[in-house]
């Protein structure tokens, strides 16, 4: 089976290509940067196309026919009508799959499942990174708020932290939010 | 009422009514909690409406019809609740073609036909024209115009699909010979010297329906009252969008970096009252009515090009997909149909 992979994220595309290439029955080709998706389909004539849903040129495959020397094949979105949750999963992960021959090859679902898992892992890694950055940023703000309190109110460091925590508990806000308002009040800048 | 309604749209100037309704608090005033999702492709919008990730979207009417008829996968439960905008697309050809086609004393159509045929002889292939989606108003109006000039859109041109923000560059570096795309991309290509605008699609069908509000059908069935309020807010937003004195504020909204990030000057030029070759229209009241006659025009064109099963009952499809009950409930009168381009071709 020939799989065309359209994903500008080189790291993720490479990882997925390696996973799929482990099956000797599958050959994988990546769409080159700047190459039109429709041209890549013509050049490689794949059985299925896996597409990163973030690509704006995904529309090039929607509803078109792949014209070969013999007859035009409709390219259709792979959809498992009996398993809508599977489709929601794919959309949630941001990957879609097209069958070039109109009918899905029998083993398309495991391939798409592998793609979903990989896209999902990248999504989580990215989310984790943002969360880590936010946490780091918040710790800086709390430190700056503590420094202000230590200086202005002549508190020790543990007392400054307890003051922030108490404010947070009484107002139902997070410590980072209280810290942010302390810093904003003092420095007059938005954070 | 507190359930969030997610509305999907693309980076296009005619997404304005939804952005204006959100920005001016028109949704909030009616108790609606709306979240806007900017999607990179029409396919994403269609998929997310089909699988309930979005409840509503700013859509191409022929794509809603195609999705509902199962032309891009299993038949999707998706309906058109109202029209959002009229016109705004341009047909553009590269500089060399424009020099041959633009003869002031000759009808453009005949010159185009001669150019298409001679291009094919000289290059061994027909010229490539880009549209934004196979099931788009752009593709259907381009084909209608070519056919009216005597060309065969299946043989005399090759149609490719390229995202609108990439068509000007594709024309400039010779990947395509022409395109039909929405505002502001024709003017962008012309300003960059990549090509010339031959005509706006309003010359093919005056005030033709362009973007529509599509709703996920299960959501409409379960939330008829929310759908009414949604449409009411958008009718108000369309009036703001139609007012030329509001255009600078709307252009600034379309240009916001955390939003669509469109070029502000070009956005201003394509809004009502602007100086672009073809401007968008947000015609008042009845023009928003989801007229079955409009659905039938698109469907007949789709059948004309062999995309539909010849046995399909087009009237039934039009009635099922173009759902006027929401606007009826809001007291919007049906649009008098007087201005459809004739469909007296080999499709009927």
Express each pLDDT in A119-155 by its tens digit: 988 888 878 777 777 777 888 888 999 999 999 888 8
- A26-35, B8-17, B79-88: which has the minimum mean pLDDT? A26-35
Q: What is the pLDDT of residues B163-212, one digit of tens each?
A: 888 899 999 999 999 999 998 889 889 989 999 999 999 999 999 999 99
Residue B99 is predicted with a pLDDT of: 83
pLDDT digits (tens, 9 = 90+) for B138-164: 999 999 999 999 999 999 999 989 988
Length of chain A: 191
Name the band, by pLDDT with cuts 50, 70 and 90, for residue A68.
Answer: very low
Q: What confidence tens digit (pLDDT) does each residue in A131-141 have?
A: 777 777 888 88
- Find chain B residues with C-beta within 8 A of A55's C-beta: 40-41
pLDDT band at B1 (very low <50, low <70, confident <90, very high): very low
Phi, psi dihedral angles at B336 (to 5 degrees):
-65, 125
Q: For A131-187, give the CATH class.
A: mainly alpha
Cβ pair B162:A84 closer than 8 A: no
Query: Of A63, A84, A96, which is closest to B135 when you measure between CB atoms?
Result: A63
| In-domain check, residue B40 | yes
The pLDDT tens digits of the residues spanning B243-269 come to: 999 999 999 999 998 899 988 998 999
* B105 is a domain residue: yes
Choose among A53, A81, A92: nearest Cβ to B74: A81
pLDDT at A191 over 50: no
DSSP state of B69: T
Contact between B133 and A62 using a beta-carbon 8 Å cutoff: yes
- Taking CA atoms, B6 is separated from A140, A178, B208, B209, B318, in Å, by 35, 32, 27, 23, 25
Residue B342 included in any domain: no
Report whether B327 contacts B231 (CB < 8 A).
yes
Comparing alpha-carbon positions, the chain A residue that sits nearest to B11 is A56
Q: What is the pLDDT of residue B87?
A: 95
Domain boundary among B135, B168, B203: B203
In this structure, is residue B348 part of a structural domain?
no
Taking residues B64-76, what's their average pLDDT? Answer: 90
What b-and-e string marks burial along B84-94, b requiring 16 or more CB atoms within 10 Å of the CB? bbbbbbbbbbb
Q: Is residue B336 a part of any domain in this protein?
A: no
* Shared domain check, B234 and B98: no
B345 domain-assigned:
no
Same domain? For B53 and B99 the reply is no
Q: Which residues of A touch B44 (CB under 8 A)?
A: 53, 58
Question: Which tens digits make up the pLDDT trace of B81-136?
Answer: 999 999 999 999 998 888 888 765 666 778 889 999 999 999 999 999 999 999 99
Instruction: Name the E strands within A7-111.
Output: 27-30, 48-52, 65-67, 72-74, 76-77, 95-99
Domain that holds residue B68: 4-86+209-329
Q: Which residues contact B205 (CB under 8 A, 6 or more apart)?
A: B141, B144, B339, B340, B341
Between these two residues, B123 and A183, which has the higher pLDDT value? B123
Structural domains in chain B (count): 2
Following CA atoms B295, B301, B305, B310 in sequence, which dihedral angle do they give, to the nearest 10 degrees? 60
Asked whether residue B346 is domain-assigned, the answer is no
Is the domain of B174 the same as that of B222? no
Q: Are residues B163 and B102 in the same domain?
A: yes
A-B interface: how many C-beta pairs under 8 angstroms? 76
| pLDDT of A83 strictly over 50 | yes
Say if residues A24 and A12 touch (Cβ distance below 8 Å).
no
Would you state the pLDDT for residue A71? 52
Residues B185 and B251 in one domain: no
Q: Which regions of chain A does DSSP assign to beta strands (E)?
A: 2-6, 27-30, 48-52, 65-67, 72-74, 76-77, 95-99
Min Cα distance B134 → chain A (Å) is 6
Q: Which residues of B touch A87 (CB under 8 A)?
A: 51
Same domain membership, residue B197 and residue B221:
no
Mean pLDDT of chain B: 92
Give helix B16-23 / helix B247-255 axis angle, nearest 10°.
100
Q: Where are the domains of chain A?
A: 2-126, 131-187
Asked whether residue B283 falls in the same domain as residue B313, the answer is yes
Same domain, B217 and B309: yes
Shortest distance between the Cα of A122 and any Cα of chain B, in A, equals 19
Considering only the top CATH level, what class is A2-126? alpha beta
The band of A69, judged by pLDDT with boundaries at 50, 70 and 90, is very low
Among the partner residues A55, A62, A84, nearest to B40 by beta-carbon distance: A55
Q: Which residues of B touch A58 (CB under 8 A)?
A: 40-41, 43-44
* Alpha-carbon gap, residue A152 to B304, rounded angstroms: 79
Q: Are residues B28 and B98 located together in one domain of the fold? A: no
CATH number for the domain spanning B22: value is 3.40.190.10
- Cβ–Cβ of A91/B165 closer than 8 Å? no
One domain for residues B321 and B215: yes
Q: What does the pLDDT look like over B307-342, one tens digit per residue? A: 898 899 999 999 999 999 999 999 998 876 657 888
> Residue B284: which of B339, B228, B241, B323 has the closest Cα?
B241
Mean pLDDT of all residues in B24-31:
97
Predicted ipTM > 0.90: no
Query: Which of B170, B203, B236 is where one domain is finished?
Result: B203
Mean pLDDT of chain A: 83
Q: Point out the residue among A53, A62, A91 whose CB comes nearest to the CB of B134.
A: A62
* pLDDT, position A139: 83
Is the Cβ–Cβ distance between A143 and A151 less than 8 Å? no
Contact at CB, A91 and B66, closer than 8 angstroms: no
- What are the Cα distances from residue B224, in Å, to A52, A183, B52? 34, 47, 16
Q: Looking at the domain assignment, is residue B77 inside a domain?
A: yes
Of the partner residues B41, B66, B165, the one whose CB lies closest to the CB of residue A59: B41
Chain A positions touching B73 (Cβ under 8 A) are: 76-77, 79
Angle at A172 between CA A170 and CA A175, to 5 degrees: 90
Q: Are residues B131 and B23 in the same domain?
A: no
Which distant-in-sequence residues (6+ apart) come within 8 Å of B277 by Cβ? B90, B186, B187, B190, B197, B200
Instruction: Say if residue B185 is in the same domain as residue B106.
Output: yes
């Amino acid at each position: 089976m020939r799989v065309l992979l359209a994903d500008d994220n080189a790291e993720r595309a490479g990882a997925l290509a390696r996973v799929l290439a482990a099956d000797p029955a599958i050959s994988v080709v990546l769409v080159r940067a700047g190459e039109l998706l429709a041209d890549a389909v013509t050049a490689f004539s794949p059985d299925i196309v896996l597409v990163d849903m973030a690509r704006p040129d995904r529309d090039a495959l929607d509803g078109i026919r792949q014209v070969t020397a013999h007859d035009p094949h409709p390219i259709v979105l792979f959809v498992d009508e009996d398993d809508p949750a599977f489709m929601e999963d794919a959309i949630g992960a941001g990957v879609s799959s097209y069958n070039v021959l109109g009918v899905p090859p029998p083993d398309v679902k495991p391939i798409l499942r592998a793609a979903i898992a990989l896209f999902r892992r990248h999504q989580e890694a990215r989310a984790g990174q943002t969360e880590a950055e936010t946490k780091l940023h918040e710790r800086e703000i709390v430190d700056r708020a503590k420094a202000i309190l230590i200086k202005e109110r002549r508190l020790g460091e543990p007392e400054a932290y307890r003051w922030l925590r108490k404010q947070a508990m009484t107002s139902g806000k997070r410590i980072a939010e209280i810290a942010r308002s302390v810093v904003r009040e003092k420095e007059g800048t938005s954070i | 009422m507190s359930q969030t309604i997610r509305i999907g749209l693309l980076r296009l100037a005619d997404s304005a009514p939804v952005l204006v309704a959100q920005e001016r608090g028109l949704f909030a005033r009616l108790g609606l909690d709306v979240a806007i999702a900017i999607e990179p492709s029409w396919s994403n919008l269609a998929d997310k409406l089909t699988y309930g990730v979005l409840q509503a979207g700013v859509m191409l009417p022929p794509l809603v019809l195609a999705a509902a008829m199962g032309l891009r996968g299993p038949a999707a439960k998706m309906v058109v609740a109202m029209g959002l905008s009229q016109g705004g697309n341009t047909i553009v050809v590269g500089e060399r073609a424009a020099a041959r086609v633009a003869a002031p004393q000759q009808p453009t159509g005949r010159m185009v036909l001669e150019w298409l045929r001679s291009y094919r002889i000289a290059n061994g292939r027909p010229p490539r024209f880009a549209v934004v989606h196979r099931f788009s108003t752009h593709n259907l109006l381009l084909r209608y115009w070519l056919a009216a000039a005597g060309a065969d859109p299946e043989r005399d041109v090759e149609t490719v699909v390229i995202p609108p923000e990439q068509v000007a560059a594709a024309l400039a570096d010779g990947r395509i010979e022409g395109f039909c795309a929405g505002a502001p991309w024709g003017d962008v290509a012309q300003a960059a010297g990549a090509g010339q605008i031959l005509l706006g699609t309003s010359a093919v069908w005056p005030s033709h329906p362009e973007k529509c509000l599509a709703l996920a059908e299960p959501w409409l069935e379960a939330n008829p009252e929310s759908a009414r309020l949604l449409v009411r807010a958008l009718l108000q937003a369309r009036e703001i969008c139609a007012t030329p004195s509001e255009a600078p504020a709307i252009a600034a909204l379309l240009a916001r970096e955390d939003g669509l990030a469109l070029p502000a000057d070009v956005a201003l030029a394509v809004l009502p009252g602007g100086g672009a070759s073809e401007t968008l229209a947000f015609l008042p009241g009845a023009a928003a009515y989801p007229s079955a006659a409009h659905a039938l025009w698109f469907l007949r064109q789709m059948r004309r090009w062999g995309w539909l099963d010849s046995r399909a009952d087009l009237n039934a499809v039009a009635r099922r997909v173009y759902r006027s009950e929401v606007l009826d409930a809001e007291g919007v009168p049906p649009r008098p149909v007087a201005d459809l381009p004739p469909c007296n071709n080999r499709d009927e």
